[in-house]
Amino acid sequence: MLNQLGGDFLIIFLNYLPTLLGMTFNIIILIFGILIYKKNSFKYGMFLMLSSIMALASSITYIVIGYPTLFFRLYYELGFDVSTVNMIIVTLNFVFLSLNTLSSIFLVISLYLIYKEHSQLRVG
């Protein structure tokens, strides 16, 4: 049944394109945070790294479980009833929500620390 969903490469690529672009952005933020933390030992580098790691964990989990076709795989291929499938989907939604919320909180903290660190006048 799953092979009848139109599983050619273009549809799969378009389903995962926003997630892949978000992952590349988070990898760039992770590298930037590592470089800032190693070079200058600023605290916001650590929070940037934590933010990008949380977002990467969410994106990787999304891709690994095949979230766009998860309902069809659970219902048609594995034969779960609709209430069990909905419970699994809702649980995964809460996991994604918590990871993305933690990532956003760490990003806001790092932005605040960047503002606080660089708003002070420096000599030299």
Domain of residue 104, residue span: 17-117
Whether residue 56 is contained in a domain is answered as yes
Question: What tokens does 75 get?
Answer: 């219902």
In 3D space, the residue among 70, 60, 105 whose CA is nearest the CA of residue 90 turns out to be 70
Whether residue 53 is contained in a domain is answered as yes
Cα–Cα distance between 54 and 61 in angstroms, integer? 11
- At residue 8, φ and ψ (nearest 5 deg) are -75, 170
pTM score of the predicted model: 0.82
Whether residue 49 is contained in a domain is answered as yes
Domain count, the chain: 1
Whether residue 11 is contained in a domain is answered as no
Whether residue 124 is contained in a domain is answered as no
Is the CB of residue 57 less than 8 Å from the CB of residue 22? no
Residue 94 burial (CB < 10 Å; 0-12/13-18/19+)?
Answer: exposed
- Residue-level pLDDT, tens digit, the chain, 124 residues: 455 555 577 888 888 999 999 999 999 999 999 998 888 878 888 999 999 999 999 999 999 999 988 999 999 999 999 999 999 999 999 999 999 999 999 999 999 988 888 777 666 5
Whether residue 6 is contained in a domain is answered as no
